[in-house]
Amino acid sequence: MKNKIIIMIVIMNLIFFSCGCEGDSTTKKDFYGYTTLGGRHIRRIPTIRPYSILSSDEKSWFFHSEIYGDHAFSVETGKVMSIGIIDTCKFVVYSFFTTTNPYYKWAIINASEKTRIEFKTEEEYLAHLSALGVDSVKLYDNLDDLHNEFRYNKILPPEWEQVIKHDKIKKQIQQ
C-alpha cells in the first residue's frame, strides 16, 4: 500500500510539472487563489505558503510542498485525515499510514522554519499544543467539503483568513 501512495504522489507531480497548467481561474502567483492543478485533475487546498494538500480522487488527500517538492513530507505524512491552522506559521496534519501495521500520526508543521514535529499519540500532540500556549486547534476532517467550498465559493475557513492577511503583508514588505 505504501508503494501505491508513492506512485500516486509521483503521478501527481508528473501531471503538475509537465502540463504547464496554471490551475483554474487565477494564476499560480496567487497562492490562496487556485483550487486545481494539472488541468483540473488534481484538487488543491492551500494551507500556509508553500504547503497545500492535494487529491486526485474522492478519498485520499496528501501533503504537498509547492517549493520544496513532495519527497521530504508527502511520503512521511501519509494520507491526510484532517488539517487545522494553529497560527500564521504553524498548522496540524493528522495522517493515516497504510503500512503492514497501519497507524495514525500527528504532525505540527512550522512553515516559516521549515520544520515538522511528529507525535504518535493524541496525548503527546495535545501536550505539545499546551506547551505552545494553545488550548485547541479546529481540525477539518471533511476535506472534500472544504475543497468544494474553496473551489466554488472561494471561501476558506476563518482560521485561514489571518494566514492570508499575514502572507499578503509579508509579500508587500518583501517588495
Instruction: Locate the domains of the chain by residue range.
Output: 2-143+152-163
pTM of the predicted structure, to 2 decimals: 0.75
**What is the side-by-side order of every strand in the sheet holding 42-46?**
36-37, 42-46, 51-55, 62-65, 79-85, 90-97, 103-110, 115-119
Evaluate if residue 139 carries a pLDDT over 90.
yes
Alpha-carbon span 81 to 27, nearest angstrom: 28
Evaluate if residue 68 carries a pLDDT over 80.
no
Q: Where are the beta strands (DSSP E) in 34-160?
A: 36-37, 42-46, 51-55, 62-65, 79-85, 90-97, 103-110, 115-119
Closest CA to 64 of 81, 89, 47: 47
Evaluate if residue 118 carries a pLDDT over 50.
yes
In this predicted structure, what is the pLDDT of residue 33? 80
At residue 87, what are phi and psi to the nearest 5 degrees? Answer: -155, -165
CA dist 116 → 76, 79, 91, 139, 148 (Å): 11, 16, 10, 17, 28
Angle at 135 between CA 128 and CA 158, to 5 degrees: 115
Residue 58 contacts residue 70 (beta carbons within 8 Å)? no
Choose the weakest-confidence range: 47-51, 76-80, 132-136. 76-80
